[in-house]
Chain A
Amino acid sequence: MTANRGMGEAAAPYTADEMMTVAASRELRDGAVCFVGIGLPSEAANLARATHAPGCVLIYESGTVGAKPDVLPLSIGDGVLAAHADSVVSVPEIFNYWLQAGRVDVGFLGAAQVDRFGNINTTVVGDYQHPKVRLPGAGGAPEIAASAREVIIMLRHKRRAFVERLSFVTSVGHGAGGGSRDDLGYPGAGPTVLITDLGVLRPDPETRELTLVALHPGATVEGAREATGWNLKVADDPGTTEPPTERELELLRDLKARTEAARGGSTRGTET
């Protein structure tokens, strides 16, 4: 994979996906209890654990608490998650005693589609009864989005993923914006950041609309607008993301190479 859309012409020393993963990993503070989805979030969370956040406690919905996988898990119940975990509990326990009880600081989610308020669709594209595309469904995401103190979303910036109107609201972000999430009575603050392969979006403090606040090196506002299905709000003076450090890149590539070697195949993951 090479850096493309929105990136400069010169051969980049890292890919847009790597930039996205590194940027997302930096959002995770050391010591946080983090409920992690498979795929991109798991990659970023484990990079954080390898770099600045060795003390973060990774929870996967299969019931592993304090998971310390040495390679990336291919599925939510992968054996590497249990192997060095602090504890392994049942699925009802992870959702009831951990997530619903407020023991999770950060929910780290992927998505199929997102709207301007960070609401997430992973259910269907098109009509529910006669969908154009049937997606996997909710998994753990609705309650992670509801109960984690804050939510980080990772999603590649594409027009078909960043849509004006979701076919289906699977997990609630900031609802219809403003104070509408508060009216639902959820304990968590909702999405505090959306990391894409082009930049960083954060909710406006008043309207809760996701606003482009930083661009990754080489990405442009025009490129981001082009890849967004709504009229993207852009901060007055969007910053530029610090490019990946050598160490971040080395550790990320090392993690992926180890995963590939251990699996003898792909490192693809889906969001659950």
Chain B
Amino acid sequence: MAEVTDLREAVAGLVHDGDAVALEGFTHLIPTAAAHEIIRQGRKDLTLIRMTPDLIYDQMIGMGCARKLVFSWGGNPGVGSLHRFRDAIENDWPVPLEIEEHSHAGMANRYVAGASNLPFAVLRGYVGTDLPKVTSTIAPVTCPFTGEELMAVPALNPDVSIIHAQQADSRGNVAIWGISGIQKEAALSARRAIATVEEVVEELTPHPFQIVLPAVVFDAVAVEPKGAHPSYADGYYDRDNVFYEAWDPIGRDREAFRSWMEQHVLGTENFGEYFRSVRGEGMVAK
């Protein structure tokens, strides 16, 4: 049952070195605050799982938290490349990064299988592409009923999944509305789950396209206002494009990256302090 706690305690207790960790959010509700807390606590050797690794995985990879990345699309959405991700793959900096690469459909189905406690999922795809040649977790399987050949992908069961949501109620039930992406499957496929939320309300009220993940799904719920910045939280704030564009030159340069992370992430106690720090640098849209 979810305990409403603070993020530092949640990460300290639930995210361990060497874990397979999924921080999901399909360009909406990206759990930035949680990623920063993992960096602050110096986690190492993580297998990072995410369909769309973007700025937060660029930061975690650049800070040497990851040993392996499982993903389907890695970029700075709307801007360009992830330079830390590329530097790790192209030049092994700061540490070599093993990759396991899928398509979105493959990753989505892997989470579904994980959430369903099945060993694998089947889909029509990958045939004729070079992905099965480089990714060992794609293999053909024959339908026992029709004889059709399909592709199988193994379940994803992260040690811990972390999502950001708009609200939790006081009992720890978590509400997401708008684009909910893959967060439900990420949370339900994980051995442990953490939600950060914009706020805790007494009673959840309906919103368009809302899903509610019951408190029993989570081990911890922590309040982190603006915790998805620079992505957006429908009903709370918009995507901060200024930040996404400002990230490009920082991520491009190893020194600039390190000193930025040291000043704003390692040099702050929590996400609120971090946010004031980057706002002071003009990296946040007015």
Contact = CB atoms under 8 A, between A and B. Distances in A.
A77 interface: yes
A136 B75 contact: yes
Interface in B99-132: 101-105, 108-109, 111-112, 123-131
A77 B179 contact: yes
Interface residues of B, number: 60
A238 interface: no
Contacts of B78: 38, 74-75, 266, 268-270
B74 A136 contact: yes
A223 interface: no
Contacts of A131: 89-90
A4 interface: no
Given A264-B285, A269-B78, A172 B179 contact: no
A239 interface: no
Interface residues of A, number: 57
Contact of A143 (B52, B101, B123, B149): B123
A123 B90 CA distance: 13
Interface in B175-195: 178-182, 184-185
A169 B130 contact: yes
A268 B129 contact: no
A177 interface: no
Interface of A is mostly: loop
B209 interface: yes
A169 B105 contact: no
Contacts of B104: 61, 91, 95, 138-140, 143
A128 B80 CA distance: 20
B27 A169 contact: no
Nearest to A262: B238
28 contacts: A74-B77, A74-B244, A77-B26, A77-B179, A77-B181, A78-B27, A79-B28, A79-B234, A82-B178, A88-B178, A90-B181, A95-B109, A95-B123, A96-B109, A100-B125, A136-B74, A137-B72, A139-B73, A141-B103, A142-B131, A143-B124, A147-B125, A172-B129, A186-B127, A186-B128, A270-B79, A270-B80, A272-B52
Given A82-B234, A134-B85, A138-B73, 18 more contacts: A62-B26, A64-B179, A74-B78, A75-B27, A76-B77, A77-B26, A78-B239, A79-B28, A79-B234, A82-B178, A91-B51, A95-B108, A136-B75, A142-B125, A264-B242, A266-B78, A268-B80, A269-B78
Q: Which 6 A-B pairs have the closest CB atoms?
A: A77-B27, A75-B77, A74-B78, A139-B73, A136-B75, A88-B209
